[in-house]
């Protein structure tokens, strides 16, 4: 019986794909293993930046050096974008693009060596996903991908070319899967490449809020969490539903990328700063203690000092509780990569440091506001995660996979501590 190990790179949707690959391999008779003892190592890759590509190549070389007998299968977004490049690397036995990802259990059940299984991702109209029956790497918070692909054409982004058009999991499939997951787990995370577009490819006016309402009505799930939703898909209806239901985590993650109107236009983003701010202030008005997070990019081609300051000031003005700050990285094949106005690397990195410092200050301010309060949290293998996305150090160990109320007494270096726990940072 062959042993396998799956390593995931990148976003929550990729992690959900990895969980589905694991489930499919187990169903075929393979046995999950640690990396050191695996006969087959599956690398489920990301390609959103050149740094992500570099990390994958480094991991391939390390695995081949440390476990030369193991077969390496590379799948995911990097595999879809540059299969020949990966297939040429020592140790790589099979490259499977996103177009064929669900076929991995069948492909590895037959003899293979040096194959490439990649097709036209834009030719796919079905939802490419296998059932997720457990939390896999998350252990207590399963990720369920319910949407894939993206119809946007942001000028910096390669993802539509490796994930294809927006496609939604059928509602009955989602309801059935959440129902099964809810038998084992207290919190289920709904994820997607462009989650807010769920249902738009179905006839009629089906929206994400409609699906969530059905999940609350037709499944016993104790808590749903939305991973990331484009700002203009945080409709009044969706935000109101989140605010009114105690079974939805008070967590709003809305990608921003830039707070400069001119930069957003060059990025081909479909909103302006004023639209974004309206959604964030609406969310905070309905959910005063909610987590508010965003993805932000620095050093986009042509970003001037003035435009960066516009972005920084805009971010300063909003009630963010955390930020994911990325330094712009050229992606071959995207319009932005062809721009002659590339920002010098040292300037990009300096701007990244500025925004990360700002994010740290905002996060500290938010955590301080929780002192003396009681938060609802899901217990993990160690510690807990509050519904507003703050880490909690527990005073006494609790069984994992439970939703509990926790009285907060102070701060740790990156989270909160429960009453009765020795403080790390005050």
pLDDT given at position 110? 83
Q: In percent, how much of the chain has pLDDT > 90?
A: 81
List the structure tokens of 181: 């997951």
Question: What sign results for the dihedral spanned by CA atoms 77, 78, 82, 87?
Answer: negative
pLDDT given at position 420? 82
CATH code, residues 3-123: 3.40.50.12160
Minimal CA–CA distance to 327: which of 345, 307, 306, 302? 345
pLDDT given at position 189? 94
Q: In percent, how much of the chain has pLDDT > 70?
A: 95
CATH code, residues 136-368: 3.80.30.20
pLDDT given at position 421? 62
250-262 pLDDT, tens digit each:
999 999 999 999 9
Question: What sign results for the dihedral spanned by CA atoms 202, 165, 102, 24?
Answer: negative
Give the span between the Cα atoms of 29 and 23, in whole angstroms.
10
pLDDT given at position 199? 96
Can you tell me the mean pLDDT for 338-351? 96
User: What ranges do the domains of the chain cover?
Assistant: 3-123, 136-368, 374-418
Give the span between the Cα atoms of 23 and 51, in whole angstroms.
29
18-68 pLDDT, tens digit each:
888 998 899 999 999 999 999 999 999 999 888 899 999 999 999 999 999
**Could you tell me if 89 and 60 are in contact, meaning their C-beta atoms sit under 8 angstroms apart?**
yes
Can you tell me the mean pLDDT for 350-373? 98
Q: Does position 137 have pLDDT exceeding 60, yes or no?
A: no
Residue 38 makes CB contacts below 8 A (sequence gap 6+) with: 3, 4, 5, 67, 70
pLDDT given at position 425? 47
363 C-beta neighbours (distance < 10 Å), count: 19
Residue 352 makes CB contacts below 8 A (sequence gap 6+) with: 298, 299, 325, 326, 327
List the structure tokens of 69: 């007998």
Q: Does position 85 have pLDDT exceeding 90, yes or no?
A: yes
Give the span between the Cα atoms of 375 and 389, in whole angstroms.
10
Q: Does position 426 have pLDDT exceeding 60, yes or no?
A: no
**Could you tell me if 257 and 269 are in contact, meaning their C-beta atoms sit under 8 angstroms apart?**
yes
**Pairing mode of beta strands 374-379, 322-327:** unpaired
Residue 370 makes CB contacts below 8 A (sequence gap 6+) with: 289, 386, 390, 408, 416
Q: Does position 391 have pLDDT exceeding 60, yes or no?
A: yes
Minimal CA–CA distance to 158: which of 240, 50, 86, 59? 50
234-288 pLDDT, tens digit each:
999 999 999 999 999 999 999 999 999 999 999 999 999 999 999 999 999 999 9
Query: What is the CB-side half-sphere exposure of residue 125 using CA atoms within 13 A?
Result: 3
List the structure tokens of 127: 């939802």
pLDDT given at position 14? 86
Q: Does position 375 have pLDDT exceeding 50, yes or no?
A: yes
List the structure tokens of 91: 């140790």
Which whole-number Å values give the CA distances from 114 to 65, 162, 217, in the listed order? 18, 21, 48
Q: Phi/psi at 246 (nearest 5 deg)?
A: -75, -5
pLDDT given at position 357? 98
**Could you tell me if 304 and 345 are in contact, meaning their C-beta atoms sit under 8 angstroms apart?**
no
Average pLDDT, the chain: 92
List the structure tokens of 290: 């909610």
User: Tell me, what DSSP letter sits at residue 11?
Assistant: S
How large is the greatest C-alpha to C-alpha distance in the chain, in angstroms? 61
pLDDT given at position 76? 94
Give the span between the Cα atoms of 310 and 276, in whole angstroms.
14
Give the span between the Cα atoms of 395 and 290, in whole angstroms.
24
pLDDT given at position 133? 63
List the structure tokens of 34: 């640690």
pLDDT given at position 219? 98
175-226 pLDDT, tens digit each:
999 999 999 999 999 999 999 999 999 998 899 999 999 999 999 999 999 9
Q: How confident is the model at residue 128 (pLDDT cuts 50, 70, 90)?
A: low
Q: How confident is the model at residue 422 (pLDDT cuts 50, 70, 90)?
A: low
**Pairing mode of beta strands 3-8, 31-32:** parallel
């Amino acid at each position: 019986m062959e042993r396998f190990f799956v390593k995931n790179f990148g976003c929550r949707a990729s992690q959900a794909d990895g969980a589905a690959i694991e489930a499919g391999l187990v169903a075929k008779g393979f046995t999950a293993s640690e990396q050191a003892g695996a006969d087959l190592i599956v690398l489920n890759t990301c390609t959103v930046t050149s740094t992500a590509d570099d990390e994958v190549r480094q991991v391939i070389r390390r695995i081949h050096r440390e476990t030369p007998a193991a077969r390496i299968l590379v799948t995911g977004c990097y595999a879809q974008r540059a299969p020949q490049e990966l297939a040429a690397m020592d140790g790589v036995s099979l490259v499977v693009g996103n177009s064929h990802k669900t076929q991995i259990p069948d492909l590895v059940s037959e003899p293979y060596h040096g194959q490439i299984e990649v097709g036209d991702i834009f030719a796919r109209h079905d939802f490419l996903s296998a059932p997720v029956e457990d939390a896999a790497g998350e252990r207590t918070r399963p990720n369920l991908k319910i949407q894939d692909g993206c119809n946007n054409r942001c000028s910096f982004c390669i993802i539509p070319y490796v994930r294809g058009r927006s496609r939604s999991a059928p509602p009955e499939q989602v309801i059935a899967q959440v129902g099964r997951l809810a038998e084992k787990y207290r919190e289920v995370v709904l994820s997607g490449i462009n989650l807010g577009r769920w249902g738009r490819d179905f006839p009629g006016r089906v929206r994400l809020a409609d699906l969530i309402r059905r999940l609350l009505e037709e499944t016993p799930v104790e808590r749903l969490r939305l991973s990331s939703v484009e700002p203009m898909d945080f409709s009044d209806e969706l935000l109101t539903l989140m605010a009114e239901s105690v079974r939805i985590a008070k967590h709003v993650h809305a990608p921003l990328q830039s707070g400069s109107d001119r930069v957003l236009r060059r990025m081909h983003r479909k909103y302006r700063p004023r639209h974004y701010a309206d959604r964030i202030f609406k969310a905070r008005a309905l959910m005063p203690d909610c987590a508010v997070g965003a993805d932000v990019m620095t050093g986009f081609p042509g970003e001037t000092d003035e435009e960066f300051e516009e972005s920084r000031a805009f971010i300063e003005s909003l009630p963010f509780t955390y930020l994911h700050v990325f330094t712009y990285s050229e992606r071959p094949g995207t319009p932005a990569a062809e721009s002659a106005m590339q920002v010098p690397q040292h300037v990009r990195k300096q701007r990244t440091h500025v925004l990360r410092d700002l994010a740290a200050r905002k996060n500290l301010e938010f955590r301080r506001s929780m002192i003396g309060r009681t938060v609802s949290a899901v217990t993990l293998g160690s510690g807990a995660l509050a519904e507003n996305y703050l880490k909690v150090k527990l005073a006494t160990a609790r069984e994992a996979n439970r939703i509990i109320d926790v009285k907060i007494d102070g701060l740790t270096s990156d989270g909160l501590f429960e009453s009765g726990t020795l403080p790390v940072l005050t």
